[in-house]
Every structure is written in structure tokens, then in C-alpha cells.
Amino acid sequence: MPSPAHSPMLKMTSPQSLTDFLSQKLPQNYRTHLRTSVLPTLLTSITRIAECLRSSLDIQAAGSQNTSGDAQLNVDLATNEIIHAAIRTCPSIISASSEEDEGENAVQHDAGIKAHQHGKEQYAVAFDPLDGSSIIPANWSVGTIIGIWDGKSALDQPAETHQVAAILGVLGPRTTAIVAIRLPKSAASLCFEVGLSSATADVVVVRDRVCFAAPEAVRTRYFAAANLRAAAQEPRYKALIDRFIEDEYTLRYSGGLVPDIYHSLVKRHGVYVSPVTAKSHAKLRLLYEVAPVALIVECAGGRAVDPTSGERILGKRVLDVDDRSGLLCGTGDEVEMCIGMLIGGGKR
């Protein structure tokens, strides 16, 4: 058996600086501030979030709730401020919204930072600073999700064209992130993995291409079934779970959206299902979680759809920060199979 270092699914490129990588991969003069300011600043903030978590030995309720009605922890508030502080240093980020805040607001930049005016690059950033905070007390991996939108607002914009980049950061034994950048129609979009070091504050590209494998190249098939209790409420969801078991899929589900999606991207195969039933309503926020994940999955060659309708996630507009959705994403063939089971009558 080959050692992990020689396993094809773990093969990585030699580390390259983010600056050099983006200079080579992005068209000349294409979104200069995105690659030189916005992405490096936001990725470095994830490093600071990792440092915050490692030094936060006392995890406790903050005595407040976010707009989703979830009780906030002290680390939710601390990590939220870390990203906001980073955003205030970026002149091209005009507005920002967080799952821990009330709505989308104009950025109040730090003293000496002049916001970009009309005609220059302008971005809206929407983020979930600490996705999966409920599993932090168990010391499990959690994550940060960031969507970067073209223009002054992320609201009432077609996600397909206006969400230009997304970041999926994992806060675990290592601090890493997968980044997707939508490129002009004439070029293939980028999806790559970076490593984040608190010791040096460097952002290095450790995998220059993240993509799902062709079905025939897959040995082990993975599934992550969120809200498994919903299988008792919805026969079609239970039938889908039964099929995964009958077809000898391997369950990989941590209870954290980010590490579960990240696992499928690293293994180059997998399907994630967050169902919606009559009793289990959609919980995931479209702006802060579902849309950024969908961009990354699509840039990696997969599909991301609404499990109730089969509608492409990136075909939606986010009209309100509280818009919610289920999520079905992963390799194209597996998503198609799941759509058939959940919507199309359950035929094989």
C-alpha cells in the first residue's frame, strides 16, 4: 500500500505564493485589487481566526442571538470582528454582511483608507465567520465561508454573474482554504487550495487545481447526509439513505458544513445533502453558506442544486440576507441520482 505522501488523491504541487500563482493564472489587469488586496486580506483573516480558536480555551455563550435565532458564543463574536477588521483595511470592499450581524452595511474603513469610488473595482463581501460553532466544544474541525460579490451589494444580484469569488476555510489540525474565482467566459474558472501559516502569515498555494474526478476513476464513494432525523419524516429521503447503504457508500459526516464539503473536494468525490421537509425547514442561509459553496463546487466541476426543486443554486438571486435553502451538491452523476430519488419518484 502506498504511503499517504505518494497517494494520488493527496498529491500536491510545490508550494507557491498566492501572489505569484494569481499573477500567472489570471488575465493581465483582471480584477487587480481582488488578487492583490481582497483575497490575501481575507485569507490572512482566516489565519487569525485559527489563532483565536486555539487560544480560546473557555468557550461559552455570549448571551445574545444572531439573526438566525442561534445563540452566539464568545468565539462567534470574536471571529466576526476579525473579518470585519480585515475588511476595513480594503478600499475596494464597499459593503459587508455577516451571519452574526443585522443586514448588509456600508464598510466604515480605517482612518487613511479611502474607499474606491465609481469606476474602480468595488466588492460586497458576505461571510459566515465560524460555521459549525456548535461542534467547537467537542474540538471538531469547523470553518469559515466567504462570498465576494461584484459591485456595492450582494443583494438582488444574479449569483451566476455577480458572485465572483468564494473561500471555504477549514479550521482543524491544519488551517487551509479552497478558493474559487470566476473568470471571463473565455477562460476556465479557478479552484485551488491554499495553506495558511500563523507562524509566517504566508498564503501559499498547495494544490493548484481542485476538481472532482471522473466517475470511472472513483474507488470509494462518499456521502454526507445532514439532518438524518428528516429521513423519519420524508420517505424519499429515507429511500435515498437506504440506497447509499445498499450501494456501499462510505459515510463521512461531521455535522460541520465546511469540513464535509471540503472532504469531498479533497477526495475528489462525494455528495452532500441538506434536505428540506414539511417538518424540517431550510436552515442554511443562501448568502452566507449556500451560494459560496455552490460557486466552489461548480468551479471544481460539480453541481449544486436545491434538493426540493433541482434548481441550480447559482441561478438564484438573494433578495434578503435571511433567504434560506436546502443544499444538494457534489459530483454531477451523484447529484443527478439524488435528484431522481428526491424529486423524480425514486427510480434508479
pLDDT tens, residue by residue, 75-121:
888 899 999 999 999 999 999 999 989 899 999 999 999 999 877 89
**Distance, first Cα to last Cα, the chain:** 35
| Alpha-carbon Rg for the chain in angstroms | 19
Q: What is the pLDDT of residue 347?
A: 44
* Residue 36 clears pLDDT 60, i.e. is over it: yes
Q: How confident is the model at residue 6 (pLDDT cuts 50, 70, 90)?
A: very low
CATH class of 12-207: alpha beta
Q: What is the pLDDT of residue 4?
A: 44
* Residue 156 clears pLDDT 50, i.e. is over it: yes
Q: How confident is the model at residue 136 (pLDDT cuts 50, 70, 90)?
A: confident
Q: What is the pLDDT of residue 208?
A: 95
Of the chain, the percentage scoring pLDDT greater than 70 comes to: 90
Bridge partners for 95 per DSSP: 106, 124
Q: What is the pLDDT of residue 62?
A: 55
* Residue 7 clears pLDDT 50, i.e. is over it: no
* Residue 8 clears pLDDT 60, i.e. is over it: no
Q: How confident is the model at residue 1 (pLDDT cuts 50, 70, 90)?
A: very low
- In this prediction the pTM is 0.91
Q: What is the pLDDT of residue 145?
A: 98
Bridge partners for 204 per DSSP: 17, 195
Which is more confidently placed, 15 or 111? 111
Report the alpha-carbon distance of residue 137 to residue 331 in Å, rounded: 32
H or E stretch at 93: strand 93-98
Q: How confident is the model at residue 285 (pLDDT cuts 50, 70, 90)?
A: very high
In this prediction, residues 63-78 reach a mean pLDDT of 70
Bridge partners for 195 per DSSP: 176, 204
Q: How confident is the model at residue 185 (pLDDT cuts 50, 70, 90)?
A: confident
- CATH architecture for segment(s) 215-342: 3-Layer(aba) Sandwich (3.40)
* Residue 294 clears pLDDT 60, i.e. is over it: yes
Residue ranges covered by each domain of the chain: 12-207, 215-342
